[in-house]
Amino acid sequence: MKSSFREFRQAGHFPTLLSAFLYFDVSFMVWVVLGPLALYITQDLNIPIGEKFTIVAIPILCGALLRIPLGMLADHIGPKKAGQIGQLIVMFGMGYAWLFGFDSKLAVELMGVVLGVAGASFAVALPQASRWYPPRYQGIVLGIAGAGNMGVVLDALLVPSLAEQYGWQSVFGFLLLPLLIVFVLYTLMAKDAPEQRSSVSRAAYLEVLQDSDTWWFMFFYFITFGGFVGLANALPLYFVTWFHVSGVAAGLLAAIVVFAGSIFRPVGGMMADRFGGIRSLQILFTVVALCYFLIAFMPEGPWPAVIDGTAKVAGWGMMELPGVAWLAVLIFFIGAMALGMGNGAVFQLVPLRFRQQMGVMTGLVGAGGGVGGFMLAKALGWSQAASGSFAIGFWVFAALALSGLFGIRRVKRRWRTTWGAVSGARV
């Protein structure tokens, strides 16, 4: 085991892998900060429930769309410089929110656009790490770099408590500290790989978009990463609305769920390296679909008998949660675990198929995942506003997971007998 780890470290540039992980970790943390903060910001601004889900969905959509230009920038000037520029933009926006706050829904939405730059870090961190390592390590390398999405766990754990104790505006100031620290570490540790980067232009994007495999990868990541990040943003609102828990309890429950998706992403990469990304995705899509269907049938939880009127967001505390809420957490945990592993499995396959176009493909596939997250958060908001229940939104995404299962079965033979046969790794 020690020998294998030593070989892995010597195969690439470990400081760059570590700094890419940290960059994506803190970026993901601030990207989804409006999820737990929406409980407090929307209360102060008197924003209705349907629009709350829109607010948490905007950073996801902008992060998806900005991944393409940031990926192009990374291929033109190098991932390190592109990453530094992105971090500086986000830090400026966080500083502004800390000092001046928001006085309208539009101001919150504009902040969501800035936070989208943090979400776009995916298009820099993953290819930056990937280019340092050979094909046989792509699953684990991109799993480690992509596991930076565990930053959302820190959000869910800390943000509600900080917001209740110091006010939601101060949270942006607190989060500036890890951003500054990681910026310094990234500047000192990260290096661009000596491998020649292919020239990226609109023509390069049009070229890969003409390949059906590009669309399949975007669709698969729409389901896996979209499901994960959509849940990460929507779960605090879901738990408060459906199970009537407090803001702090909602954050803790969301942290439990998204921790599974984050920590198991590298496991999904390793599983794909060993058994093949195709076989892994077949299993994982089945688990995801089943979990979504079960959650859709979860009944609404009871209201607390006594509500503490002094709390900013009242409801059940962690020690008082009804059993139905814990059952939902268990199902979400299993589903998020499968989604996280699915993320790792998809990105075991992408560099095997598009090694020379990783900047372009990371932007495109990442954009597909971000759009999936936006759609999940919006679908839950639409479902609740239209029917008073979240069931329809979960049914839609269960159906998408089943579509992903049928899709992977459709392409597996062609993939294994063409590029997979010469990829140098198990497909």
pLDDT exceeds cutoff 50 at 198: yes
Percent of the chain with pLDDT strictly greater than 70: 91
Beta strand residue intervals within 305-390, DSSP E: none
Express each pLDDT in 72-117 by its tens digit. 888 788 889 999 999 999 999 999 999 999 988 899 999 999 999 9
Per-residue model confidence (pLDDT) at position 178: 94
Q: Residue 307: which pLDDT band, with cuts at 50, 70 and 90?
A: very low
Express each pLDDT in 370-387 by its tens digit. 899 989 988 998 998 889
pLDDT exceeds cutoff 50 at 1: no
pLDDT exceeds cutoff 80 at 243: yes
Q: Which residue type is seen at 235? A: L
- Which sign, positive or negative, has the C-alpha torsion 380, 381, 383, 389? positive
pLDDT exceeds cutoff 80 at 305: no
Express each pLDDT in 343-356 by its tens digit. 989 988 998 888 77
Average pLDDT, the chain: 86
Q: Which of 114, 236, 107, 257 is nearest to 175 (CA)?
A: 114
303 or 12, higher pLDDT: 303
CA distances from 185 to 15, 76, 133, 282 (A): 10, 23, 21, 38
Q: Residue 311: which pLDDT band, with cuts at 50, 70 and 90?
A: very low
CA distances from 134 to 10, 48, 226, 425 (A): 11, 50, 28, 10
pLDDT exceeds cutoff 90 at 331: yes
Express each pLDDT in 176-185 by its tens digit. 999 999 999 9
Span 301-315, average pLDDT: 62
Span 254-261, average pLDDT: 88
> What gap in Å lies between CA 243 and CA 300, rounded to an integer?
6
Express each pLDDT in 40-74 by its tens digit. 898 888 888 778 888 888 998 898 889 888 888 88
Q: Which residue type is seen at 372? A: G
Cα 145-422-420 angle, rounded to 5 deg: 65
pLDDT exceeds cutoff 50 at 237: yes
DSSP string across 225-279: HHHHHHHHHHHHHHHHHHH-B-HHHHHHHHHHHHHHHHHTHHHHHHHHHHH-HHH
pLDDT exceeds cutoff 60 at 241: yes
Per-residue model confidence (pLDDT) at position 283: 96
Point out which residues pair with 316 in neighbouring strands: 245
> What gap in Å lies between CA 291 and CA 286, rounded to an integer?
9
Q: Is 410 exposed, middle or buried (0-12, 13-18, 19+ CB in 10 A)?
A: exposed
Per-residue model confidence (pLDDT) at position 310: 46
Span 144-159, average pLDDT: 74
Report pTM.
0.81
Q: Residue 312: which pLDDT band, with cuts at 50, 70 and 90?
A: very low
Pick the most confident of 204-218, 255-269, 278-292. Answer: 278-292
> What gap in Å lies between CA 191 and CA 239, rounded to an integer?
42
Instruction: Quote the tokens at residue 325.
Output: 């809420």
Q: Which of 9, 126, 124, 112 is nearest to 61 (CA)?
A: 112
> What gap in Å lies between CA 423 and CA 103, rounded to an integer?
54
> What gap in Å lies between CA 97 and CA 377, rounded to an integer?
23
> What gap in Å lies between CA 133 and CA 348, rounded to an integer?
12
Cα 358-364-370 angle, rounded to 5 deg: 125
Instruction: Quote the tokens at residue 299.
Output: 């009944």
- DSSP conformation class of 33: T
Rounded to the nearest 10 degrees, the angle between the axes of helix 212-243 and helix 323-353 is 160
Domains and CATH numbers, the chain: 13-187+213-422 (1.20.1250.20)
Span 231-241, average pLDDT: 90
Span 231-242, average pLDDT: 90
With beta carbons less than 8 A apart as the criterion, state whether 135 and 425 touch.
yes
